[in-house]
Structure 1
């Protein structure tokens, strides 16, 4: 009898714990999805500026604006120095206010733990921690210069940081486990070394010249065929050694210094992650500043969770779910491709706040099955209903039931165009789908009057053969059979007639006999997506709006969802 009672108690506790977890990650095909309350959820987010959650008045002022902007999630700093202003004394006022305002304004929260490191520096560590540099030592350069960067090799640093982190997380679990307002946690912020590629303190040097941990070399051997190309090249150059110190296994250069430092940052974060899992088991991630502009390790935050270090971080911190890029440089499509990997879902916790973020959101959801996107300093954006990010998020929120249904199933494409990159071509079944920037249409004056082209982008979703959803802004799409004769076509005006008379009309094509079927546009309907993913008809666009059946388009600055039905004829 006692054993049955014990079994019932344990089972009940397990059941309560399982139901208490309101957010989690799940696989669907090739995609990893964030689920909230058991349903797939796309983060249409914004991250607050570093100081924008440092007083309750700011939080109360900002959060209603975020609701008007159409966000469903806000990323909010949690400051160690304000959480533990005196050693051992904790104040959760700002956390409580954040959760309260999020609930009042229909928002989810991703908290960012600004603990031992924020943008490499220890600027949000409490003053009592900073002043006691003997107990809480700093990293230092090769010539012994101490830095405003806490040492990742100090057990005292870890104990102080993790004690505050665990107390804060226990408080969140106590007030939010049932409600589930907080859906993810970021551990530290843009971790990495500056001024030097690695810490040169006495403790660090001793470990640098010690053998590389067996745990790492065994991981590299086991996963050799899946390693990041840069990791593999560096290891192979030294003969794929299984033993030796860091220079013997990886070579003697600044990038070996970075590998070493990445391992120890990852091990530090892994201990924090295990602690978090034991207290409040929700998804965890780390963010990273980019290694851009030809900078070398130490000129950028060396050893953070960068793409070329992903194997070090996966081995060193297996309880971290995502390595997430912060994007402020040009070359957006190239950067996101580096972080949507077979072993890393794409989440963009920071991106420079611009009007182009709206179409970029469509692109990453369509192309990369992204978990979410979050412009930085979002409170500085416009909450006008006509602002691009507001219109984009409004449309994506409506589209979410379809996006989450089809993520990972290989039926979605993302498009992103600018003045230099104007066209993408997709082959699906027997269709050649040509997608272009809206300003490639010859009659829009902004295309040729010297105006800077805003980015255009969108999602192409195949619902069934010859049936598509097209959504986004600033795009034009043509459908044709792969087998169609690719004869040179005249440029057409807005009325569909030739721009000017000439001798390249029908007579020029008489020599080649036409063969095969053609693809036609049956209809283009503007639609509304309902909560269950069904479509409601709004209006038909079969006239000038689709150029009399020649293409599907959505104007620059407009955001729409279109249902396209194709047919074929001979």
Structure 2
């Protein structure tokens, strides 16, 4: 599992900053640091390369016993060509810019220019050769990101002269038909056209790189959120709705990965967990919810990795939450590796999305946000709920591990589900208001069959060999006298739960 942290953009631009920022990041509990590799600092003069910052990054990572993923800030970073060197930026005739439909030149190198590609490719392949030379066995540098959040802004596509020539040829329409890609409206048709050429550009970079050093490569995307249209978001990037294009025309790329900063974390993650695309989240907002989100993606999507952005400048609360969840994940890893994936589930809750039902053979597992319990004042004080979540792992029949922060889990068998009448309970666990007569008892049918109970709940740790080690038993108030299993918001625990029938 990649338990990652990405440095802020300028944290690796000199030796002193690299030493301090990576050492600081390593203390947060990550096992992998994501670090920009900037074209302008690597090739300040055309044809002359300086890899001193790359070398220092690898050296300090090794000292801190963590891995490195380099992020190629080449022709594009967040759509713009802001990390291209000055000799590239100033020569707009040789290295043309993209133009909007209004004729506005952008600081976005045109993906249709062969000169742009050759310059970018020369620098990128030089970086790959250097990495292979100093880390040939991929012991430290485990993966590389190709460009950063590629996409066209202000227009859905590039309207430069060279782009328009390709558009007018119409070959791209046939290519879309060949892969069975269909879209509606000119705006999205323009985006599809642009996506083909971004993907082809990236494929050439990736294919050349892998011929030198066969290392995993991925691309990341800024999400098309908040109802924005192509060009309002970075159009034509490796977005989920364009996955058919990117997978067809950039087959050397191993993963399309989402950078998730907006609301709806679960839905964005789901979009990038599809056939031949393992979920890897290279950037996510570093906040108080980061820890439970990490647990969720590894549990529900069996993700390759999860990383938060700007870990070197993150607030203390965010780091503590991330550290706690990464610690749980490290413990769970040997068990998750050897368990059947269908027996592992991730849950993530907020105030509006606060319950999930999991069916496991004869058992119905009901998972809820901790604040759905009636006695925690934080649930009703008007504040936004901190997210709760975790991982549920079935070890065997009636035998589960539950790990997380801010969740409540209860168990019913099928017989109970058919006959169950749920009452609203008060904070003492009993019916809120008593009845003046026993009419409900007279009219109720007799319960038949067996029920499922909680035999015990143990707080545990897990050793490196996967052995579960007992810490303490929680069979009293902590599990509400056998009614449920719970982990409070702000706690991070692993609980071993054994059920029985009576």
Q: Report if TM-score (shorter chain) is over 0.5.
A: yes
1:282-361 to structure 2, matched below 5 A, reads 282-361=215-294
Where 2:62 maps in the other structure, the secondary structure is helix
Where 2:35 maps in the other structure, the secondary structure is strand
Of 421, 434, 439, which aligns to 1:487? 421
Is 1:465 equivalent to 2:397 in the alignment? yes
Measured after TM superposition, the shift of residue 511 of structure 1 is 2.7
Measure, in 1, the Cα distance between the counterparts of 2:324 and 2:437. 43
Distance 1:254 1:103, change over 3 A: same
Is 1:134 equivalent to 2:93 in the alignment? yes
Measured after TM superposition, the shift of residue 387 of structure 1 is 1.6
Distance 1:179 1:190, change over 3 A: closer
The count of residues paired between Structure 1 and Structure 2 equals: 500
Where 1:404 maps in the other structure, the secondary structure is helix
2:13 — aligned with what? 54
1:210 — aligned with what? 169
Of 475, 485, 506, which aligns to 2:407? 475
Distance 1:503 1:428, change over 3 A: farther
Measure, in 2, the Cα distance between the counterparts of 1:404 and 1:46. 22
1:356-505 to structure 2, matched below 5 A, reads 356-382=289-315, 387-406=320-339, 409-484=341-416, 485-494=419-428, 496-503=429-436
Measure, in 2, the Cα distance between the counterparts of 1:197 and 1:325. 20
1:563 — aligned with what? 496
Measure, in 2, the Cα distance between the counterparts of 1:506 and 1:191. 68
Cα RMSD between the aligned structures? 1.9
Of 126, 140, 144, which aligns to 1:167? 126
* Kept after mapping to 2: 8 A contact 1:383/1:390: no
Measure, in 2, the Cα distance between the counterparts of 1:144 and 1:431. 63
Measure, in 2, the Cα distance between the counterparts of 1:524 and 1:58. 47
Measure, in 2, the Cα distance between the counterparts of 1:119 and 1:146. 17
Per-residue CA distance 1:344-364 (angstroms, 9 max, x = gap): 211111111111010011111
Measure, in 2, the Cα distance between the counterparts of 1:189 and 1:108. 20
1:253 — aligned with what? 186
Distance 1:369 1:504, change over 3 A: farther
Measure, in 1, the Cα distance between the counterparts of 2:216 and 2:322. 26
Where 1:432 maps in the other structure, the secondary structure is strand
Measure, in 1, the Cα distance between the counterparts of 2:189 and 2:166. 13
Distance 1:377 1:525, change over 3 A: same
Where does the alignment leave 5 or more consecutive residues of structure 1 unmatched? Answer: 1-41, 222-230, 235-250
Measured after TM superposition, the shift of residue 567 of structure 1 is 1.0
Measured after TM superposition, the shift of residue 272 of structure 1 is 0.6
1:109 — aligned with what? 68
Of 500, 510, 528, which aligns to 2:461? 528
Distance 1:509 1:446, change over 3 A: farther
Distance 1:453 1:213, change over 3 A: closer
Measure, in 2, the Cα distance between the counterparts of 1:162 and 1:564. 55
Per-residue CA distance 1:535-566 (angstroms, 9 max, x = gap): 11111111111111110111111111111111
* Kept after mapping to 2: 8 A contact 1:69/1:382: no
Measure, in 2, the Cα distance between the counterparts of 1:142 and 1:179. 44
Measure, in 2, the Cα distance between the counterparts of 1:218 and 1:445. 57
Is 1:280 equivalent to 2:213 in the alignment? yes
Measure, in 1, the Cα distance between the counterparts of 2:64 and 2:316. 14
Measured after TM superposition, the shift of residue 510 of structure 1 is 6.1
TM-score (norm 2): 0.95
Per-residue CA distance 1:183-211 (angstroms, 9 max, x = gap): 11000000010111111112111111213
Where does the alignment leave 5 or more consecutive residues of structure 2 unmatched? Answer: none
Measure, in 1, the Cα distance between the counterparts of 2:178 and 2:301. 27
2:47 — aligned with what? 88
Where 1:209 maps in the other structure, the secondary structure is helix
Where 1:410 maps in the other structure, the secondary structure is helix
Where 1:532 maps in the other structure, the secondary structure is coil
Per-residue CA distance 1:294-313 (angstroms, 9 max, x = gap): 11111111000001100000
Where 1:69 maps in the other structure, the secondary structure is coil
Measured after TM superposition, the shift of residue 421 of structure 1 is 1.3
Measure, in 1, the Cα distance between the counterparts of 2:436 and 2:131. 75
Measured after TM superposition, the shift of residue 343 of structure 1 is 3.1
1:25 — aligned with what? none
Of 462, 474, 499, which aligns to 1:541? 474
Per-residue CA distance 1:426-448 (angstroms, 9 max, x = gap): 11101111111111111112122
Measured after TM superposition, the shift of residue 412 of structure 1 is 1.2
Distance 1:503 1:390, change over 3 A: farther
TM-score (norm 1): 0.84
Which deviates the most, 286-295 or 136-145?
A: 136-145
Measure, in 1, the Cα distance between the counterparts of 2:348 and 2:185. 41
Is 1:71 equivalent to 2:30 in the alignment? yes
Measure, in 1, the Cα distance between the counterparts of 2:315 and 2:23. 13
Measure, in 2, the Cα distance between the counterparts of 1:163 and 1:346. 30
Measure, in 2, the Cα distance between the counterparts of 1:386 and 1:133. 43
Measure, in 1, the Cα distance between the counterparts of 2:324 and 2:272. 27
1:186 — aligned with what? 145
Which deviates the most, 314-323 or 391-400?
A: 391-400
Where 2:402 maps in the other structure, the secondary structure is strand
Measure, in 1, the Cα distance between the counterparts of 2:90 and 2:422. 74
